[in-house]
Chains A and B, each alone.
Chain A
Amino acid sequence: MPELLDRAAVRLDAKAIGRDDAIRQCGAALVGAGAVEPAYVDTMLERERSVSTYVGEGVAIPHGTLAGKDAVHHDAVSFVRFPDGVEWNGEQVVLCIGIAARGDGHVRLLSELAQILLDPEQARALRETNDIDEVVRLLQPAGEEVAE
């Protein structure tokens, strides 16, 4: 069973020229981790045009449409941080967490991510840490230990 967050899908110092560029980078990280087909990234852009995935606090959680589910190999997230911020429908996004899930898995994934982001300590750590391992540990689903 692959990890939910692959170390290779974490970037702490990315730059993007805009929202769509940021989403493509988030999607590319999921493709690179072997979690999705490249076609999934197009459905992430499609979703965003339909409704913003900005959730507040400088965080966006882009994910594909229902139609994109066929392009998902396994549930995964990617974590791309933009220290300079990205303009996102009038908001500034510094944290972009891409999500891919099969079936109804996205509801549980979004819920777990939201609970982490609602915790001020964990949210601050995700914004500030320079340690990829800490990001991987923080985004580990509750109750699952990181394999050493």
Chain B
Amino acid sequence: MPERTVTIASRTGLHARPAAIFVKAAAEQSVPVRIRVGDGSPVPAASMLAVLSLGAGHGTEVILDADGPGADDALDALVTLLARDLDAEEAADA
């Protein structure tokens, strides 16, 4: 199954705005994407509660996986998102 490893770039971690952007993008992919931290169980990337449960802070390494047609494109799109500081794109949130 295709996988990607990426480090959370957002300053405050994967919650609030960064999580909302990520979960929405995951839901829009053509294949279901899962996310995990280290050896933890993969959880649906399109579920806000599941993503929050990871407790991924700034600098945490997460692993995304997906299967089926379009999986690689989906993973690339989501990895690109997580590698950006999504907090910096909302000045009022800083």
Contacts and interface: CB of A to CB of B under 8 A. Distances in A.
A63 interface: yes
Interface in B15-36: 15-17, 20
B50 A110 contact: no
Interface stretch (A9-17, A20-28, A112-120): A112-120
B93 interface: yes
A19 to B, nearest CB: 16
B53 A50 contact: no
A54 B20 CA distance: 10
Interface residues of B, number: 23
Contact of A107 (B17, B20, B55, B90): B55
A52 interface: yes
Interface residues of A, number: 29
Interface in A95-148: 104, 106-108, 110-115, 117-118
Contacts, number: 67
A115 B53 contact: yes
B93 A110 contact: no
A74 interface: no
Contacts of B17: 50-51
Contact of A51 (B20, B49, B50, B94): B20
Interface of B: 11-17, 20, 47-50, 52-58, 90, 92-94
Which 8 pairs across A and B sit closest by C-beta, in order of nearness? A111-B55, A114-B53, A114-B52, A51-B17, A107-B13, A107-B57, A55-B48, A114-B49
